[in-house]
Structure 1
Amino acid sequence: MATSISEKKSHEVEEINIDHLEPVPGSVEQFDGNFNPQLEKKMLRKMDLVILPIIGWVYLIAYLDRSNIGNAASAGLIDDLGLSSTQYSAAISLFYVTYILVEVPCSIVFKKVKPAIMLATLTLSWSLVGIFSGFVKSFGGLVVIRLLLGLIEGGLFPALTLYLASVYQRGELAYRVSYLFTAAALAGAIGGLLAYGLLKMDGLHGLKGWQWLFIIEGCISVTGAILVLSALPNDMTKAWFLNEEEQAYYLKRKQMQEMSFIKDQAPPKEDSKDIKAAFKDPKVYLSSISQFCAEIVFFGFSTFLPQIVKAMGYSILKTQLLTIPIYVVGSISFIIIASASDYFKKRLPFLLCAACFPIIGYIILLASSGNAAKMGGVFILTVGAFAGPGLNLSWLNNNTAGDLKRATSVGIQLSIGNISGVVIGQIYRSNDSPKYTLGHGFSLGCIIVAVFFYCAQGFYLRRENNKKQARLLKGDVRPDARGDESDDFIFYL
């Protein structure tokens, strides 16, 4: 966490103890006597009441349009389009090909444009593609739709996380990012509920139930673009829901938080240096590998849950209903884990805790033959399925300073992490039903690897903190260092 080390005289440096340099963001140390806890609490409450529902709803409808192919598949899409198991798997994977390609560019572009304009444009675009999905007649048409959807949605998640990182402070971020992954979980629950109702429209006006599913969910998504344009602030110091006192306090709060990092932002001619620094940063790749492994669980679970449940012998409609409580458990669990992580201002212990649940869940799914035990394994698995990717993403945001370096780092992390989306379509194959041994086994191996890289990342960050402390104790101060390399920046563990 950022603290004012470099302001001390060199002969006073020996008094510094990095282990205790973790004041709560927004604390008296940061505000130098101007901290107003009542005003801050009121301001944050207003921000949360406006921003979180908007970004949560936008990501929910995006995830709904992305993952409803699972509900459609369990409702007859595969048979109606005459898809082989290989073609269906390819359709799942191809979405992530274009999705991955645009993440880094969109992360950089986001810093150059108004957030509301970019988010509204993306939302409206994928809504139209979602509607057109309902009129697909062949495998070729499905491929085009999935590629377009990935191309448009690829810029959304980096844009949302960078927006949150720009308006909230470091110690407040995990809880807010949890709303995105909670939205993904709720999308599964709502998707199951919508599917249960919309599939009953099968045959209406000559359209199949899965076609109505795509069309109506695409129409619902248009509301996201309207909501973003009308209510999401581009500049918090001019936010419509904050009064003048709160706007001024927000500005002061942001300035005080970044006072030690005035030199963080590269001059326009040096933008490329921050981009290069992100590509050379070891923690970006440690985080990216663990993100890839965690998202194997996240994407595999959220995309193929309807098929996994249906393979236990349930009807199409009952399958949709049974997915709802599973996603609700995932949502609630992540909010609890993220809130605790922010409260204690630690990431690694909670990542390791969250990883234990998928490990146990997959072992139960692989070892059990009874449906009751398998369903229990699914519920255990979901406790950590959403928390891992979300906390790991917050961890990298916490430990990267400088807007452009953060944008590039997040883009790299998500691009590498989302390669998992290509993989999951190949490991959860329809001809592996009902056991899905390959999918569950591969996912189990990945989450174990993720644990290793979480620990490696924590070790690296602690070592960097200790190296910086040792350097400062020797009086070696580097006033020209920027961002997370500056003397004032302490990494979250």
Structure 2
Amino acid sequence: MSFESSSAKDVGFKEKSTPISPNVYREDVDTSGVDETKLMRRIDWHVVPWLALLYLLNFLDRGSIGNAKLYNLEQDLRITDTQYLIALTVFFFPYALFEPPSNVALRRLRPSRWLSFLMLGWGVVMTLHGIIHDYNGLLTVRFFLGLFEAGLYPGIVFYMSCWYKRSELGTRVALFFSSATVAGAFSGLLAAAISNMQGIGGLAGWKWIFILEGLFTVLCAIASFWIVQDFPDNAKFLSESERVFVVRRLQDDMRHSAGGEKLKLKYIWQSLVDWKTWIAMGMYMGFDGPLFAFSLFTPTIINQATVANLLSVPVYAWACIMTCIIGFLGDRIGSRGYINLYVFARLVGYVILIVSRNPSLSYFAVYLAASAIYPTIRVAWVSSNVEGSYKRSVTLAMAIGFGNLNGAVTSNVYRSQDKPWYRLGHGIVLTYIAIGWICSLLFLVLLRLENKRRDAGERDEVIDGLENPFAREENGKFANVEDARAEKGDQWSGFRYTL
């Protein structure tokens, strides 16, 4: 594999009067002996499996309150259904608002420390769920659980984008995110088993659900301080030549910031004023809102004279399969935008749920809904179209954070007075998915238009020593192409958005 500098053709120049400096990352290091296939396989084993486990625990701990409700949580705490919904809502405010600063902290600090610290915090809070006695206690632990869990999902997505090329990210994110579906299936079985500890130590079965799951999370958090790897340029499990090789291949894939980037406020500002950030927030609104509603209320939705936790297992197994298939197709076929539109179009599942009065038909519709909610094609799509490590970290955190904030709404839409068909809840979730579809279409159209403008030379910068009739000073003036690329990130004229 070769790493070539950007040519005049790459940046739309019709002529060039002087050669462009290659500016290879650490050009003194010889990487000719590195086997790319073996290296990437080793990176996969060091990065993906443990992150998948962390997210499994994250999703498991977050949603366990839905299972605990089935085992008399409300009655033992003497709370109403409205108070229960408020407790669910409280979780989402710190969960959403803390995500952007957490991602900046992750980039500044070592992932092995920051992610492990967050995990340790939510593991302790999860365990404390098992000793609360009233409504105030429930509100407190839900708030702090949201605070500590906030940084994990956007942090992992950003962290993985710092390891893999744009054409590789979708499959890895899908494999990591599929653990959420495993958690959904496993949580029902685990809760059913742990609930049999009713009365042991004088504690209710639902309390043991929180205590045991929380303690296991704490143990994994301690191990994570040594298992979670840092960024490619300083990962300990790689040799020096391998670290350099990984950074160079990322930079060749328009990840110019892969070799490290100093924190500057302008990088954060670039994210805030970029239209992609705001449309991505709409996409994630249409994804995360339904995701939380689905994960928190699946047992409730299908609890129509059935063993709800057990019937939810095959639903999550199907969601896991669909997540992996869609992620794989996104990397192999490309065209993630079109795939995203197709996935969101499965909102037909919620149309069936609204009109159905047949339990079997409604149960089938839940499978269609899972097919629309769990595939993570939009994660890789957004990440692939934002360059600059700090900018990407903020954009992902804002988009995911806003999506999660809508969980505060969707955690209140399945009211007990609407059972057994929950038409209001299904209608609201359907609206969210429709918003996500519209934003995805807009994102796709605008990216295509911007690529055409760049192909036509409308975004070309003025580069010293290069003759380019299309260059405009309002697009910036730079000493060389590498400076323009580093300064502008995905706004650089040579950057092409993936559709």
Q: With structure 2 as the length reference, what TM-score do the two structures score? A: 0.87
User: Residue 178 of structure 2 aligns to a residue in which SS?
Assistant: helix
**Structure 1 alignment gaps of length 5 or more:** 16-33
Contact 2:112 2:228 in 1 (8 A): yes
Structure 1 residues 464, 433: CA separation in 2 closer, same or farther (over 3 Å shift)? same
Give the alignment partner of residue 323 of structure 2, picking from 325, 328, 334.
334
Paired residues, what number?
462
User: Residue 162 of structure 2 aligns to a residue in which SS?
Assistant: helix
2: CA distance between counterparts of 1:79 and 1:114?
44
Q: Which residue of 2 aligns with 1:375?
A: 363
| 1:47 matches 2:33 | no
Contact 1:6 1:487 in 2 (8 A): no
2: CA distance between counterparts of 1:170 and 1:425?
33
Structure 1 residues 173, 11: CA separation in 2 closer, same or farther (over 3 Å shift)? closer
User: Which amino acid in structure 1 is aligned with residue 290 of structure 2?
Assistant: V
Q: Which residue of 2 aligns with 1:361?
A: 349
Q: Which residue of 2 aligns with 1:441?
A: 427
Displacement of 1:6:
5.5
Q: Which residue of 1 aligns with 2:24?
A: none
RCO higher in structure (CA 8 A, sep ≥6): 1
Q: Map 1:34-433; keep pairs closer than 5 Å.
A: 39-236=35-232, 239=235, 241-242=237-238, 244=239, 248-258=241-251, 262=256, 268=262, 271-310=264-303, 312-314=304-306, 318-357=307-346, 359-387=347-375, 390-433=376-419
Contact 2:99 2:151 in 1 (8 A): yes
Displacement of 1:153:
0.7
User: Residue 134 of structure 1 aligns to a residue in which SS?
Assistant: helix
User: Which amino acid in structure 2 is aligned with residue 381 of structure 1?
Assistant: A
Structure 1 residues 60, 123: CA separation in 2 closer, same or farther (over 3 Å shift)? same
* Structure 1 runs, 4 residues or longer, greater than 4 Å off: 3-6, 9-12, 237-242, 259-268
User: Residue 86 of structure 1 aligns to a residue in which SS?
Assistant: helix
Structure 1 residues 293, 460: CA separation in 2 closer, same or farther (over 3 Å shift)? same
Contact 2:233 2:260 in 1 (8 A): no
More helix by share: 1
Q: Which residue of 2 aligns with 1:488?
A: 494
User: Residue 349 of structure 1 aligns to a residue in which SS?
Assistant: helix
Displacement of 1:39:
2.1
2: CA distance between counterparts of 1:430 and 1:83?
14
Contact 1:199 1:209 in 2 (8 A): yes
Contact 1:334 1:384 in 2 (8 A): no
Contact 2:163 2:246 in 1 (8 A): no
1: CA distance between counterparts of 2:258 and 2:110?
21
1: CA distance between counterparts of 2:215 and 2:284?
32
Tell me the alpha carbon deviations over residues 21-63 of structure 1, each in whole angstroms, 9 at most, x when there is no partner.
Answer: xxxxxxxxxxxxx889x92221111121221111000111011
2: CA distance between counterparts of 1:258 and 1:191?
41
User: Which amino acid in structure 1 is aligned with residue 488 of structure 2?
Assistant: R
Displacement of 1:262:
4.8
Displacement of 1:345:
2.2
User: Residue 418 of structure 1 aligns to a residue in which SS?
Assistant: helix
1: CA distance between counterparts of 2:83 and 2:321?
35
Tell me the alpha carbon deviations over residues 155-205 of structure 1, each in whole angstroms, 9 at most, x when there is no partner.
Answer: 111211121111112111111111332111111111111011111111222
Contact 1:85 1:431 in 2 (8 A): no
Contact 1:104 1:415 in 2 (8 A): yes
Give the alignment partner of residue 463 of structure 1, picking from 417, 431, 449.
449
2: CA distance between counterparts of 1:96 and 1:404?
24
User: Which amino acid in structure 2 is aligned with residue 336 of structure 1?
Assistant: I
Let me know the Cα RMSD of the aligned residues: 2.5
1: CA distance between counterparts of 2:451 and 2:229?
36
Structure 1 residues 126, 353: CA separation in 2 closer, same or farther (over 3 Å shift)? same
Displacement of 1:264:
9.0
2: CA distance between counterparts of 1:167 and 1:241?
13
User: Residue 173 of structure 2 aligns to a residue in which SS?
Assistant: helix
Q: With structure 1 as the length reference, what TM-score do the two structures score? A: 0.88
Structure 1 residues 77, 465: CA separation in 2 closer, same or farther (over 3 Å shift)? same
User: Which amino acid in structure 1 is aligned with residue 312 of structure 2?
Assistant: T
Tell me the alpha carbon deviations over residues 466-493 of structure 1, each in whole angstroms, 9 at most, x when there is no partner.
Answer: 1111125953275435200112211111
Contact 1:99 1:151 in 2 (8 A): yes
2: CA distance between counterparts of 1:49 and 1:256?
19
Q: Percent identity?
A: 29
Q: Which residue of 2 aligns with 1:20?
A: none
2: CA distance between counterparts of 1:113 and 1:89?
36
Contact 1:61 1:224 in 2 (8 A): no
Contact 1:63 1:187 in 2 (8 A): yes
2: CA distance between counterparts of 1:10 and 1:381?
42
